[in-house]
């Protein structure tokens, strides 16, 4: 009987991990779609991103409910307890990554119709690709409970910050032409949204270390 219950508990934890990974996969897809919509001025694709966001909201609720269920019925201790608590915090980050993808899609729809992105805008796909990779690595570290993998994520954040600075500089330059102000601001905003996605991935990586090592590296020393 004890073993049976233990197996059930393991299955529930596995289910929680699978849901986090699935939600993360949907985030990555939304980011990629939103940035492609921005690049190609593809309004239909932007609309798809906004529709996909409803699924994210459901994912967050489902993850939280599963974690609360595990806490209530299994009353885990130590690392498993920290895992369940970290999961409800990570679901918030994932849901907000979805919101950032929607923000990008909204700016995509507002952009002036034109053939190609201007110079600052052309940096966005690279930024998005890097932020997406950070998210994937952070979630893998999370479900594998691998603190070293989590630390790798922190290092990747610098490259995204650098790209953000580049985009901002190029935009301010572009916007000296008044006809480019509105689009310049949209590009700046998208760069900011992507930078925030990278921050959310970093938050998830920090959770991994809290979970695995039982100490809190947020806001400080690694």
Query: Closer to a second copy at the Cβ: 8 or 40?
Result: 8
Contacts with a second copy, 127-166, as mask; x by CB under 8 A? ----------------------------------------
What tokens appear for 161 in the block? 């910050």
68 binds a second copy (CB under 8 A): yes
Rounded to 5 degrees, what are φ and ψ at 31? -60, -50
For 213, what's the count of Cα atoms within 13 Å in the CB-facing half-sphere? 17
Query: Closer to a second copy at the Cβ: 3 or 221?
Result: 221
Least gap, CB of 79 to a second copy (angstroms): 11
**If 0-12 CB within 10 Å is exposed, 13-18 middle and 19+ buried, where does residue 163 land?**
buried
The single residue among 65, 110, 112, 162 that binds a second copy, judged by CB under 8 A, is 65
Query: Strand (E) positions, the chain?
Result: none
75 binds a second copy (CB under 8 A): yes
Contacts with a second copy, 171-210, as mask; x by CB under 8 A? -x--xx-x--xx--x--x--------------x-------
Least gap, CB of 189 to a second copy (angstroms): 8
Least gap, CB of 199 to a second copy (angstroms): 9
For 141, what's the count of Cα atoms within 13 Å in the CB-facing half-sphere? 30
Q: Dihedral through CA 147, CA 153, CA 158, CA 160, nearest 10?
A: -160
Rounded to 10 deg, the angle between the 43-74 and 78-110 helix axes is 160
The single residue among 2, 115, 220, 221 that binds a second copy, judged by CB under 8 A, is 220
Residue count of the chain: 222
* Element at 184 (helix H, strand E): helix 181-213
- Among 105, 125, 126, smallest CA distance to 50 is for 105
88 binds a second copy (CB under 8 A): yes
60 binds a second copy (CB under 8 A): yes
Least gap, CB of 61 to a second copy (angstroms): 5
Query: Closer to a second copy at the Cβ: 9 or 42?
Result: 9
* Element at 134 (helix H, strand E): helix 124-144
107 binds a second copy (CB under 8 A): no
Alpha helix (H) ranges present in the chain?
2-40, 43-74, 78-110, 124-144, 147-174, 181-213
Chain residues that interact with a second copy, rule: CB under 8 A: 54, 57-58, 60-61, 64-65, 67-68, 71-72, 75, 77-78, 81-82, 85, 88-89, 92, 172, 175-176, 178, 181-182, 185, 188, 203, 216, 218-220
């Amino acid at each position: 009987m004890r073993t049976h219950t233990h197996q059930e508990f393991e299955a529930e934890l596995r289910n929680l991990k699978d849901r986090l990974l699935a939600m993360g996969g949907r985030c990555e897809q939304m980011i990629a779609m939103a940035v492609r919509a921005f690049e190609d001025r593809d309004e239909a694709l932007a609309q798809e991103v906004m529709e996909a966001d409803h699924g994210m909201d459901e994912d967050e609720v489902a993850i939280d409910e599963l974690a609360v269920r595990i806490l209530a019925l299994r009353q885990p201790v130590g690392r498993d307890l920290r895992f369940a608590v970290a999961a409800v915090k990570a679901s918030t980050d994932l849901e907000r990554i979805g919101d950032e993808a929607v923000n990008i899609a909204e700016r995509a729809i507002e952009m002036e119709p034109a053939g190609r992105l201007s110079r600052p805008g052309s940096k966005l796909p690279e930024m998005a690709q890097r932020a997406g990779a950070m998210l994937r690595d952070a979630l893998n570290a999370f479900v594998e409970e691998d603190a070293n993998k989590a630390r790798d994520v922190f290092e990747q954040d610098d490259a995204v910050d650098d790209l953000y600075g580049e985009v901002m500089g190029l935009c301010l330059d572009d916007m000296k032409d008044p006809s480019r102000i509105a689009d310049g601001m949209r590009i700046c905003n998208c760069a900011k949204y992507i930078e925030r996605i990278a921050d959310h991935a970093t938050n998830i990586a920090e959770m991994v270390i809290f979970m695995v090592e039982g100490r809190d590296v947020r806001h400080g020393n690694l």
